[in-house]
Structure 1
């Protein structure tokens, strides 16, 4: 929004520029007028648009061409004044002043043609202005006024403000009498966002909701009927089955502009984030976000997931629980480009036809928020998140949560609040890392695909998002420890390949051993006969020596095994047990087990001796009798 405006008055000498300014300020006609008025500043609270306004007078008698060009560079709008009683001054407007303004303005300058001294003429001369307006589209409007009688003085300066704050030029072509293409595209997108049931029309409830969003008040039932009646008269295809079509919606805005109410159209456009050049503003797309607390991660709020669920179900036209390609195309029609590439189909859960499920849809949004927060803000803006939900901005769609929780009960609460846990997957080439990722998505035998896989996994009866990221050893070498930022690490080896585990040992020592990242060893292809590893230490002994849990068996061919593995990985990541804690856990647990076993042994031996002694006594007694 504009912080201030500068209105520059130009025209031939003695047309009354200075008188117009003085009449506005003093509200009476000044008989004695200086050659040039000093710059006037009108406070925001006394202007209709609530914007501070500077009014600048130019006098060719006191100022030179250089000063004219300087003033033009600073002005936002020009009031080009001519004398209604002197036709030569209008000729100079067309032959001199309009070309000068056009040639020396740094940007297209809106112009208000002002015919002064209407008290000296009888009839209006507006017909003489129309050819000029057709030749110079930058002329927003024209007005006839009188500094002497104060006729239309306030209106003249209001039109000047309006020409800057609500310009006609980006919206409407006066030569063709039609909305410009960029305006049509923007309004059609807004129509699509407000079409909540996606039937291609706005029903009464949707129209009333649109009115409430843009103007903070719903439309009365009679007003709704009046609107549709007006549309039907000149645009029969604008109403169908009692509902407003996109053609009718565009016609209404064309009508607003032609009737001089283009501020109405601008109010709609700006509510949905559009700038004066009809592009979504950076402030709308990328709102300021609070500085994240130390050691914290960003995630979507529960309310955001509710909004996304509404978006999903609205576009799931056949109600089958999946978005097919046509439905995805409809959803992304409000985007300037396709935000999801083909990789998404190998990153999230889909059905066998490649249609995205609701959890796959949620998963992709969760992944985007984790990897690229600015892009997430942009995507939510395209969906109209803040406007449709009444939020200040997309910044309210996210929350921060600490990555290093406290111990005890608060640690458990933290684990339940976090929505996503990340795990890097490393291992030798050909061990099945990609298959491991695809198995999380309940798929088998998928070649290539994304380096990410994300799906929901149950952690202590709570659904969490587990994000697996396949990392190549070359990437580790290039990125160093930064490539290992995650909640847990999965180190894969092939049980059927005797050479597989040695490379895992090398990867562990080189990249994992000196970090605090908890690590799990995954025994992949566990349905195959296990080979003794050609390694100085076997997998189970290696895990014991490093304080790592025993290898987890994993097989693509056993669904239960796969689900159990991912639940274990997610729980492992959620509880953040690093190597040192596992060392203590192993030693303490085995010590207690050993001590408990020894005690049981002593008790058992004592019971045995007592039982044996009583048995011998009983035998002796019986023999005696």
Structure 2
């Protein structure tokens, strides 16, 4: 035999071909079947005839199939079950596809899986037929009208036993596996072009993906991952990439559990220090499939590298200082000039003030990481001007925007006819106007700066309530050095004031 001196696990697939079948009456399969049962590497047997072209095309089809979709890595015909490596790979695929982490693939999850692997969802009747086959042949393959892990494994075993190896191979290759059932380098380490002198950080797509996974594995919904929940999170990895030192390097809860803040801080650090390892981890987590992206590189952004600063300095815009007595100027500068953060590194953002008379000649003139519109609540025409600038330059862009209502210590004037500031922000899916006043007990609040930095760092949060702004900002600053470019657009008074 061809594989006589080869290890059992790495044997070459074999096809038995009986030629000149035109010279024989009947079939010789009764003689061949015992041989096929004796040697598991025999994929199939074909009787053909070159004279009358019987089964010639089938011969080449089965030969191609044996190479592209081999049985040997998937199935042990002697034990009549999936091989351990195949079962492990399919278990990982099941866990990734179980998006609500209830150990059952619902109809929606099955259709998402089917569409990801084969391009189209299953028809409702076909879906029910699949579950019925599993239910009839297993004791626990179907629960709560969904497919369990055992049911999923049985279904793939059935595909292989019925000669449909290509179905299981299509699933495996969609999730990055090669013929040896290892994740390919092309999948784990996609090419990521980083310009010289730049550092890497997760963008809003990456943070959104990781937050969804955190919430998926936070089974008790206490805002933290217990050791068991963290182990479940890493079940799709060949080995746990974080050791016990994790709990000494990032923020934890009062009970010593890994909080969302600490979780995202650790990922920020990984992306900054080792982009290759970050890509690998996102690959194990199934980022390309679950996020419907080409590769993990879509979750990362390259930024010019900056040296760490001793503190995070923010200039104090004149728009927020206007009308403050001279004796309070120094106090305000101290309050707004230095914004502490929970980190060993700080950032040096740049805020640019743009007057009401500024005209944007081209789209790049309005480009920024966050736009801040400051209006005077005591001026009935102030907000309408800000709203017009927003509609003209920012409404259809992806730039996060924050409206700040200044001089809230003064009586609020009725704005010009139209939507109120709160209604306007609600209509355009913006956070409600942030209230700010320089007059009050104690130093002025620095929360407006935190909100701007948060919106710039996590632009995807701009459409939801940013009440936990300081939390998100600490996440961004937890373990990285990056550059943040701010931008302020304001009009406090009309030209005649």
- Paired with 1:319 and 1:455, the residues of 2 have a C-alpha distance of 31
Question: Which residue of 117, 121, 126 maps to 1:223?
Answer: 126
State the Cα distance separating 1:460 from its structure 2 match: 8.8
Task: Give the conservation status (yes or no) of the 8 Å contact 1:193–1:384.
Answer: yes
For the structure 1 residues 186 and 257, does the alpha-carbon distance in structure 2 shift closer, same or farther, using more than 3 Å as the test?
same
SS of residue in 2 equivalent to 1:197: coil
Q: Deviations over 1:341-383 (max 9, x none)?
A: 0111011111122211111111000001111111111111110
Contact 1:367 1:454 in 2 (8 A): no
1:216–1:234 Cα change, 3 Å? same
- Give the CA deviation at 1:234: 1.2
Q: Which has the higher contact order (CA 8 A, sep 6+)?
A: 2
In structure 2, do the counterparts of structure 1 residues 455 and 381 end up closer, same or farther at CA, with 3 Å as the change threshold?
Answer: farther
Report what 2:198 is aligned to: 296
Matched with 1:204 is 107
Following superposition of structure 1 onto structure 2, how do residues 491-570 of structure 1 map, counting pairs within 5 Å?
Answer: none
What is aligned with 2:402?
none
Bigger proportion of residues as strand: 1
Instruction: Confirm whether residue 339 of structure 1 aligns to residue 218 of structure 2.
Output: no
1:283 aligns with 2:169: no
CA displacement at 1:118 relative to structure 2: 2.2
Alignment partner of 1:108 out of 11, 16, 38:
11
Which runs of at least 4 in structure 1 moved beyond 6 Å after TM superposition? Answer: 104-107, 453-461, 573-576
Q: Secondary structure at the match of 1:148?
A: coil
> How many pairs does the alignment contain?
331
**Match of residue 328, structure 1, among 230, 233, 236:** 230
Q: CA deviation at 1:135?
A: 3.0
Write out per-residue CA displacement over residues 94-152 of structure 1, whole angstroms, 9 at most, x where no aligned residue: xxxx2x45448996321111112222333322232233223322211111222122111
Report the CA distance shift for 1:101/1:333 in structure 2 as closer, same or farther (over 3 A). Answer: closer
What is the aligned partner in structure 1 of residue 285 from structure 2?
383
What displacement does 1:458 show?
A: 11
1:599-618 matches, cutoff 5 A: none
Aligned with residue 144 of structure 1, among 25, 29, 47: 47
Measure the CA separation in 2 of the matches of 1:185 and 1:177.
Answer: 17
| Counterpart mapping for 1:66-465 below 5 A | 98=1, 100=2, 102-103=4-5, 108-290=11-193, 292-403=194-305
Cα deviations by residue, 1:567-608 (Å, 9 ceiling, x for unpaired): 9x99xx8789xxxxxxxxxxxxxxxxxxxxxxxxxxxxxxxx
Q: Relative to structure 1, is the Cα distance of residues 341 and 331 closer, same or farther in structure 2, using a 3 angstrom cutoff?
A: same
Please tell me whether Structure 1 or Structure 2 has the larger radius of gyration of its CA atoms. 1
Distance of aligned partners of 1:400 and 1:368 in 2 relative to their CA distance in 1, 3 Å threshold = same
DSSP 3-state at the match of 1:201: coil
1 CA distance for matches of 2:27 and 2:63? 21
C-alpha distance after superposition, 1:211-243 (max 9, x if no partner): 011011111111110100111121131111211
Shift of 1:390: 1.6
Note the C-alpha offset of 1:193.
0.4
Deviation at 1:277, TM superposition (A): 0.8
Report the CA distance between 1:174 and its aligned residue.
Answer: 1.3
Measure, in 1, the Cα distance between the counterparts of 2:61 and 2:7.
22
Change (3 A) 1:455 1:318: farther
Any idea what SS the aligned residue of 1:143 has? strand
Does the Cα contact within 8 Å between 1:299 and 1:399 map onto a contact in 2?
Answer: yes
Is contact 2:306–2:482 with CA below 8 Å preserved after alignment?
Answer: no
Per-residue CA deviation, residues 490-535 of structure 1 (Å, 9 max, x unaligned), is xxxxxxxxxxxxxxxxxxxxxxxxxxxxxxxxxxxxxxxxxxxxxx
Root-mean-square deviation over aligned CA pairs: 3.2
Change (3 A) 1:153 1:459: same
Q: Tell me the secondary structure at the aligned position of residue 46 of structure 2.
A: strand
| Contact 2:304–2:482 (8 Å) recurs in 1 | no
Q: Does 277-286 or 192-201 show the bigger shift?
A: 277-286
Kept in 1: contact 2:271–2:278 (CA 8 A)? yes
CA distance in 2, matches of 1:219, 1:456: 51
* Structure 2 contact 303–483 (Cα < 8 Å) conserved: no
Deviations 1:165-195 (A, max 9, x none): 1000000111122111111111011001000
Counterpart Cα distance in 2 of 1:295 and 1:188: 41
TM (normalized to structure 2)? Answer: 0.62
Tell me how far 1:412 sits from its aligned partner: 9.2
User: Contact conserved, 2:314 with 2:350, CA < 8 A, in 1?
Assistant: no
Question: Counterparts of 2:110 and 2:89 in 1: how far apart (Å)?
Answer: 17
| Structure 2: runs of 5+ lacking an equivalent | 308-312, 316-339, 352-368, 370-470, 485-497
Alignment partners' CA distance in 2, 1:330 and 1:456: 33
Going from structure 1 to structure 2, the CA distance change for 1:412 and 1:298 (only over 3 Å counts) comes to farther
- What are the within-5 Å matches in structure 2 for residues 452-491 of structure 1? none
